[in-house]
Amino acid sequence: MGKDVIKIKKLFSMLCIFALLLTGCQSKLPQQPVYGVAPAESEAEIFINGIPLKVYTAEEQEYLNMKEFADAVGEKWQVSRGILVHQASIFHGDVPYFFTTDTLPPEEDNCSLYLCGGIYDGSSWYQQLEQVMSLYSYHLLEDPEKNCSYYTTYPTAEYLHTDYSVPTLMYHAVGDEPWGIRELFVSPATLEEQLKYLTENGYTPIWFEDLGEVNQLQKPVLLTFDDGYDDNYTALLPLLKKYNVKATVFIIVDLLNTEHYLTSEQVKVLSESGLVSIQSHTMSHEFLSTRSAEQLTYELQQSKLALARITGKEPFAVAYPSGRYSDASLAAVEQYYQFGLLSSGGTYVTGAKRSMIPRQYVSRNTDLEEFVEMITTAEG
Ligand SMILES: [Zn+2]
């Protein structure tokens, strides 16, 4: 008698599971993937933090291969309950989204949602490009002319931890034999002395990309180099490598591939070195304060696109040529960039107006004592 009840109970629960499977577990997991044929490879390309990926199409929708995407954004895959699972850094409220390589969802308590509208072809998971991007809350920089788009991870200035001092130093050329304005050329020996001081005294030279974690960084400092001189490749990069230090180079796009300036190929190598972030110093280096609305759009938008085509990454910071700005140029910079950099103004404190980040000028004449004064803050 008792055994029969257990048997009936077992049968009933098995029927329930079967019914659940048939309905695709819709009550618990309303967002199951669609099973089908893998989308076709399209001509289009997408650059994820500089890494080129294929875009796939099916029924006029664009898709990403989620394994390729996760690898490109540097997310980790792990085995959970015997299934290869990817926990993306995608959150919807407090609920993380999971991508799996299998049809079964992992059953962790904190994981209950799947992306909807995906295609699973039996081995790979494809997800609509638009949906992935909107979940990440990042926009794509579109380049219709080249039939590609760029997705770059960077912090949005409005949401930074506030009140952290980040001394932001402005350099230009690095060399012993100035061919132009003398004081713009910091001697390699002087720069080496400064980099040595930073590393020996617990400073962390960072990029603007790192500002999102500024609360976890020891004595952060931003080293910036304006104009894009070729010595940033020949003299600066070897020093950055020697001390394993990060710097940001602001490029004047119209001067690329001209005498004394970086070539596009050198810019690409700098960007791929892992030590240099490439950002914009506009197209022409004309004062933004004197530009018309149309010219401002050109200087800001076109330079962004031109640099993205070289590095595969979207620039999100711009240095005002000669530090000149106007109300109109501040507004335009805020429209296209997260950060606008001035040429003076003291120490940058996070939370400051994003289009007016102050910098301190390191010239050929700056001695170590003055340098130390520039990077010494209340906390440091
Ligand atoms: Zn400049």
Distance 2 CA to ligand 1 centre (A): 87
Q: Give the pLDDT confidence score for residue 33 in this predicted structure.
A: 53
Distance 228 CA to ligand 1 centre (A): 9
Dihedral angle of Cα 300, 302, 305, 309, to the nearest 10 degrees: -130
Residues 258 and 360 in one domain: yes
Q: Which CATH number does the domain housing residue 207 bear? A: 3.20.20.370
Distance 260 CA to ligand 1 centre (A): 14
Residues 137 and 169 in one domain: no
70 vs 301, residue with greater confidence? 301
Residues 188 and 146 in one domain: no
Distance 108 CA to ligand 1 centre (A): 53
Q: How much is the pTM?
A: 0.82
Q: Give the pLDDT confidence score for residue 243 in this predicted structure.
A: 98
Residues 160 and 143 in one domain: no
Distance 322 CA to ligand 1 centre (A): 5
Residues 110 and 184 in one domain: no
Give CA–CA dist 332/319, Å, rounded: 13
Residues 193 and 254 in one domain: yes
Distance 331 CA to ligand 1 centre (A): 20
pLDDT band at 209 (very low <50, low <70, confident <90, very high): very high
pLDDT band at 299 (very low <50, low <70, confident <90, very high): very high
242 vs 79, residue with greater confidence? 242
Q: Is the pLDDT of residue 23 over 60?
A: no
Distance 323 CA to ligand 1 centre (A): 8
In this structure, is residue 14 part of a structural domain? no
Distance 321 CA to ligand 1 centre (A): 5
Distance 138 CA to ligand 1 centre (A): 29
Q: Give the pLDDT confidence score for residue 380 in this predicted structure.
A: 43
Residues 192 and 332 in one domain: yes
55 vs 18, residue with greater confidence? 55
pLDDT band at 26 (very low <50, low <70, confident <90, very high): very low
Q: Give the pLDDT confidence score for residue 139 in this predicted structure.
A: 78
Distance 252 CA to ligand 1 centre (A): 8
Distance 225 CA to ligand 1 centre (A): 9
Q: Give the pLDDT confidence score for residue 260 in this predicted structure.
A: 97
Distance 46 CA to ligand 1 centre (A): 31
End residue of a domain, out of 88, 121, 150: 150
In this structure, is residue 1 part of a structural domain? no
What does the block give as tokens for 240? 């950055």
Distance 221 CA to ligand 1 centre (A): 20
Distance 281 CA to ligand 1 centre (A): 7
Distance 146 CA to ligand 1 centre (A): 29
Distance 153 CA to ligand 1 centre (A): 26
Q: Give the pLDDT confidence score for residue 25 in this predicted structure.
A: 34
End residue of a domain, out of 108, 126, 150: 150
Distance 348 CA to ligand 1 centre (A): 19
In this structure, is residue 358 part of a structural domain? yes
Q: Which domain holds residue 168?
A: 155-375
Q: Give the pLDDT confidence score for residue 269 in this predicted structure.
A: 98
pLDDT band at 135 (very low <50, low <70, confident <90, very high): low
Give CA–CA dist 12/19, Å, rounded: 10
- Tell me, what amino acid is at 306? A
What is the number of domains present in the chain? 2
Distance 226 CA to ligand 1 centre (A): 5
Distance 214 CA to ligand 1 centre (A): 27
pLDDT band at 114 (very low <50, low <70, confident <90, very high): very low
What digits encode the pLDDT tens for the residues 315-374? 999 999 999 999 999 999 999 999 999 999 999 999 999 999 999 999 999 999 999 999
7 vs 327, residue with greater confidence? 327
In this structure, is residue 19 part of a structural domain? no
Q: Is the pLDDT of residue 106 over 90?
A: no
Residue pair 214/220 in contact by the 8 Å Cβ criterion = yes
What digits encode the pLDDT tens for the residues 56-101? 999 899 999 877 887 787 665 555 544 445 554 444 444 445 555 4
Residues with CB in 5 Å of ion ligand 1: 226-227
132 phi and psi, to 5 degrees?
-60, -45
Q: Is the pLDDT of residue 118 over 90?
A: no
Q: Determine what percent of the chain is predicted with pLDDT higher than 90.
A: 65
In this structure, is residue 250 part of a structural domain? yes
Per-residue CA distances from 168 to 245, 280, 344, 349 (Å): 14, 16, 10, 9
Distance 176 CA to ligand 1 centre (A): 19
End residue of a domain, out of 107, 129, 150: 150
In this structure, is residue 184 part of a structural domain? yes
Closest by CA to 236, choosing from 167, 203, 188, is 188
Average pLDDT for the chain: 83
Q: Give the pLDDT confidence score for residue 104 in this predicted structure.
A: 46
In this structure, is residue 2 part of a structural domain? no
What digits encode the pLDDT tens for the residues 139-176? 789 999 999 999 888 888 888 999 999 999 999 999 99
Contacts of 220 (CB under 8 A, 6+ apart): 164, 166, 203, 204, 205, 206, 210, 214
Residues 283 and 355 in one domain: yes
Distance 152 CA to ligand 1 centre (A): 25
Residues 252 and 166 in one domain: yes
Distance 32 CA to ligand 1 centre (A): 53
Residues 57 and 95 in one domain: yes
In this structure, is residue 13 part of a structural domain? no
Residue pair 56/41 in contact by the 8 Å Cβ criterion = yes
Q: Determine what percent of the chain is predicted with pLDDT higher than 70.
A: 77
Residues 250 and 181 in one domain: yes
Residues 229 and 297 in one domain: yes
Q: Give the pLDDT confidence score for residue 73 in this predicted structure.
A: 74
What does the block give as tokens for 39? 């989308």
Q: Is the pLDDT of residue 262 over 50?
A: yes
